[in-house]
Amino acid sequence: MKLYTYIILCFFINYLFSDLQGEAIRLTSVKIGKFLPIEGSIEDKKAEENFRLSLKQNLEKAGFQATLTEEEHEKAIPSSDQFYIDGYYNANPNWSIYGHIYKAETAELIDAHNQINILTELDGLSIDIKEMESSNDFIWDEFAKKIVIRLRTNQNRIRRIHNIKEYILNSPIKTYRNFSIAKEEEEQERREVFRLLSETNITVASNVIKDADKQPVSVTVINSNQIKLSGARTINDLLMTYVPGYFKVEDQDDSIAGFRGLAPDSNSKVLLLLNGVNMNTEWQFGPPDSIINSINLDYIDRIEVIRGPGSVTLGQGALLGVINIITKNGVSNPDTAIQMGGGKDGFRNFNIQSGNNGKIIPELKTYFYLSKMQYEGQKIRSEGWTRQRTYEGAEIQGLELITDPREIQALKTSSQFGSNFYGNIAAASGNRVDRNQNEMMHGQIEYKGLKINTMFADQRRDLYNFYRDRNEAISKIRNGAISYLHEFSEQLKFTTRLFYTQDDFGFQSHSGVRLAGTRENRYGGSGILNWTVSSKNNLAIGLEYRKYDLGRMDSDGNNFIVNKAEPANFYKIEEGVPSPYRVNETNKFVFTNTIPVASFFMEDAHKLNEKWDIFAAVRYDKHPFWGSNFSPRIGTTVSPNNDLKFRLSYQEGFRGAVGVSYTGGYQKDGLLRSDNFNQVELAQVPNVDNNKNPTIFQNIPQAKPEKMRSIEFATKYKHKNKLSTDAVLFYNMIQNVIDVGVIYPNPDTNSAPKIGTDEPGDWKGYFFFRNTPGLLRQGGAEVSVAYEHKFFHIGVSHSIVKVLGASTELHSSQYLTSDTRNKHFKAYPENITRSHLQIIPTDKYSIGINHLYYYNWFAPTGANVRGKHLINVSLQYSVNDSVSIVLSIKNILDSKVLYPINSIAGDVSLAAGTPTYEGRTYWLQMRAVF
């Protein structure tokens, strides 16, 4: 479906549902009472009647059923209407209006709004007020518009304490009636504003346990208010800001989602969900780049993150952690809003979102979101690894003049650059840090038990650590999911879900030459039966079936990959005439294949007594290549009292080798598929053993799924909803580590020969996916403390992870440094401290300060590199109920210490780190509600 067709369709549907809601609002009755003059004001009954008539007309125009009453306040309510509006006015000489909104049948004050004429309120002003005053009609009309917004956005008639405080208790009419706010209400208002880190309903970790305090695994929840005040630009940065045990690591191709010391190449061992739907690719790259590295966050209501394995409920890929993005919907966002902004380094964004919570059909809810964002990024600094490597592409942007004689001597390259020039990455690639263009559309329709979700995301992003021409990643996602909940009874419920995802991924050069592209189609369904066996026992049984169509042509008709934007990759010369290569046949990115995966899972939670619960689960997955896998979970939670809880649990996670290992691909880039692992010895590729003696490369065993066995002991403590602590100790054992191996011939040999049906890459060797033998044992702790006051919320956390033991072979893997005597994780800081402060000094201001300090980290060679402080600051100002402004400043300290970068396929030239964490930058966004 074309982009513009999708946009028109989405907003047509939203218009249709908006119209339905308009029909619903006509059934919402509003009674308009008397407006009385305040002390010192002239009484103008004729103007008061005209004003009330204007208010009535505006309400009716908006779809409300409005009536006027001549009764005084005490007699006009309670009534059978839904809303009752009255108030006071000051008519000296132009009107200022003080309006009050009540729940009519109970006479409960629920909201307020004032429309003040500033000139009227200024005493002793020696100017001709008649020349500057606004007309009464304008003031009345503005007041009516704000009242319409108040009613439309509060269909559930919730008591809005902050508006009552601002527009009544802080106004001249605070003593006119018995206006008051209970202390409990004020405390509840502050709690609603902060919405602490822990949510009451968690969806990602279990099919039967939703209580945040009784989750079977470690879960962190990031809500929309935290997202807004984070100062983060991407989901990867957002999670690094808030989630203990999470850190974004970089390598040549990726920004890697790292959990508890482990940073996997290409993110394939971390699972990303969108409203519970698995979004990961099977062919290699894990979560779609257009989501996890998107600069678009405004469509997200909250993010749930499992720290540790989640395969028991979610299967392959949930080895190290799980990220579940919950999008906004018509309940959380029942209005229409436009947001736009801009900032330093070419940041620009625009989005429009519209939600409806229908009343003529009460169960009908809709939400649509459309956005376009762009960030030009920052110039990559020429230091660290960028000074250690020349650019290997054809599209050289420029060369850097080096004046330091020591650098000239140490870094001088081939004579083509001249004796004083160095073709390093920063100067020659044209890459910019975090440059990104993103377009996104999201739609959701919910009716009773039926939910329909759609997502379209299109992104182009710089691979700023890459040193060849394919240094822009292109990710385009089209996703649709439909689920239905059928309740046989209160005890027996069945949920079924169908989904389809079309995932295009590719590379291009900065000049726009397409250098790679492929498509993967993913589709399938699941069914879960939830049975409340008794008041003490809940059971879930489920089936899931998924299919992956790999190696399809993308929207541009591509399924190929090359490294350089040079004519020789696309044309050959025949009798002096250039003839195009058929790169889709000679340089396949992924060979065409289909991989089905079937799963069965069962989960049970049993309440032994009021203080003691036990839980257990098991999942079985069947894959045509790596075979079968069982993932168990068992544990218990104990609550000595309402404030204190303990959990002890054991669970497993797993990940098989990525799909391209079996189907083949990266043709002429040197991927060796698993079908040819037993052909290596026949190829007689020269090698040397540990004693430097000549030998040949041996056959490669077929890869088994990598498996993590995890034990956690956790405790939570809450004291009067103000002070809370959350701590977890974990011990993990990782076996069959899936890593990238290389076959690279002896330097005396020009190139590796053909192996089976595969050919070497243009770099003269092969890479392949394998198991690294041995066992990795790790342990650590994540401790968080939070305190909530009515004016602020402060939280501090510290995470630590250590290598407790590792086989020698694992020091050549992606996880550990090469130093076998001093065992450390590679490119992952082992100690990280985070602190968060949210301040609400008034109802109009919110301030967020987020600080992260990562201690020393270890480069791939084992070198110890110092860490740094990262501080983001955000300030939100609410101009009024409809307009708010947010200023975000990232890396306010402008810290420029080299950032952790991992090596892949044995490349250790990245050891010094990368200069690619953004320097200080800022952006301003404005949101208007209609």
Q: Do the Cβ atoms of 860 and 818 come closer than 8 Å?
A: yes
Q: What number is the average pLDDT over the span 197-215? A: 77
- How many domains does the chain divide into? 3
Confidence of residue 582 (pLDDT cuts 50, 70, 90): confident
- Please give the residue that has the higher pLDDT: either 921 or 841: 921
Position 430 in a domain: yes
- Please give the residue that has the higher pLDDT: either 902 or 577: 902
- Please give the residue that has the higher pLDDT: either 752 or 101: 101
Predicted pLDDT at 17: 46
At which of 327, 352, 381 does a domain end?
327
Confidence of residue 72 (pLDDT cuts 50, 70, 90): confident
Confidence of residue 420 (pLDDT cuts 50, 70, 90): low
Position 99 in a domain: yes
Predicted pLDDT at 308: 94
Position 92 in a domain: yes
Q: What number is the average pLDDT over the span 322-341? A: 90
CA angle 501, 506, 509 (to 5 degrees): 155
pLDDT in tens, 522-554: 999 999 999 999 888 999 999 999 999 999 999
Q: Does one domain contain both 586 and 676?
A: yes
- Please give the residue that has the higher pLDDT: either 427 or 338: 338
**Statement: residue 414 has pLDDT above 50:** no
DSSP secondary structure of 299-361 = TEEEEEEEES--HHHH-TT-SSEEEEEEEP-TTT--SEEEEEEEEGGGEEEEEEEEEEE-SSS
Position 205 in a domain: no
Lowest mean pLDDT among 286-290, 810-814, 855-859: 810-814
Q: Do the Cβ atoms of 262 and 320 come closer than 8 Å?
A: yes
Lowest mean pLDDT among 336-350, 363-377, 397-411, 685-699: 397-411
For residue 22, the domain's CATH number is 3.40.50
Confidence of residue 600 (pLDDT cuts 50, 70, 90): very high
For residue 316, the domain's CATH number is 2.170.130.10
- Helix, strand, coil abundance in the chain, percent, nearest 5: 20, 45, 35
Position 197 in a domain: no
Q: Does one domain contain both 306 and 346?
A: no
461 CA to centre of own chain: 16
Lowest mean pLDDT among 166-170, 230-234, 317-321: 166-170
User: Which residues 6+ apart lie within 8 Å of 294 measured at CB?
Assistant: 234, 235, 436, 438, 440, 457, 459
Percent of the chain with pLDDT over 70: 89
Q: Does one domain contain both 165 and 288?
A: no
The two tokens of residue 369 are 């979101």
Q: Does one domain contain both 780 and 682?
A: yes
Q: Does one domain contain both 480 and 603?
A: yes
Predicted pLDDT at 749: 60
Predicted pLDDT at 26: 37
Provide the sign of the torsion angle of the four alpha carbons 232, 233, 237, 242, taken in this order: positive
Q: Does one domain contain both 323 and 345?
A: no
At which of 181, 198, 232 does a domain end?
181
Predicted pLDDT at 654: 96
Containing structural domain, residue 129 = 3-181
**Statement: residue 253 has pLDDT above 60:** yes
**Statement: residue 840 has pLDDT above 70:** yes
Token pair 């440094």 is at which residue? 817
Tell which residue, 731, 535, 720, has the closest CA to residue 644: 720
Position 279 in a domain: yes
**Statement: residue 810 has pLDDT above 50:** yes
The two tokens of residue 373 are 């964002």
For residue 762, the domain's CATH number is 2.40.170.20
Confidence of residue 122 (pLDDT cuts 50, 70, 90): very low
Confidence of residue 291 (pLDDT cuts 50, 70, 90): very high
Q: Does one domain contain both 148 and 225?
A: no
- Please give the residue that has the higher pLDDT: either 50 or 747: 50
Q: Does one domain contain both 313 and 412?
A: no
Q: Does one domain contain both 223 and 124?
A: no
Percent of the chain with pLDDT over 90: 57
**Statement: residue 572 has pLDDT above 80:** no
**Statement: residue 335 has pLDDT above 90:** no
Beta pairing partners, 726? 716, 784
Tell which residue, 57, 267, 97, 263, has the closest CA to residue 827: 263
Confidence of residue 376 (pLDDT cuts 50, 70, 90): very high
Q: Does one domain contain both 288 and 406?
A: no
Predicted pLDDT at 393: 86
Confidence of residue 86 (pLDDT cuts 50, 70, 90): very high
Position 765 in a domain: yes
**Statement: residue 229 has pLDDT above 50:** yes
pLDDT in tens, 878-897: 998 789 999 999 999 999 99
Confidence of residue 233 (pLDDT cuts 50, 70, 90): very high
User: What are the E-state strand segments in 195-335?
Assistant: 219-223, 246-250, 255-259, 270-274, 277-278, 300-307, 321-327
At which of 138, 163, 181 does a domain end?
181
Q: Does one domain contain both 77 and 218?
A: no
Position 195 in a domain: no
Q: Does one domain contain both 786 and 653?
A: yes
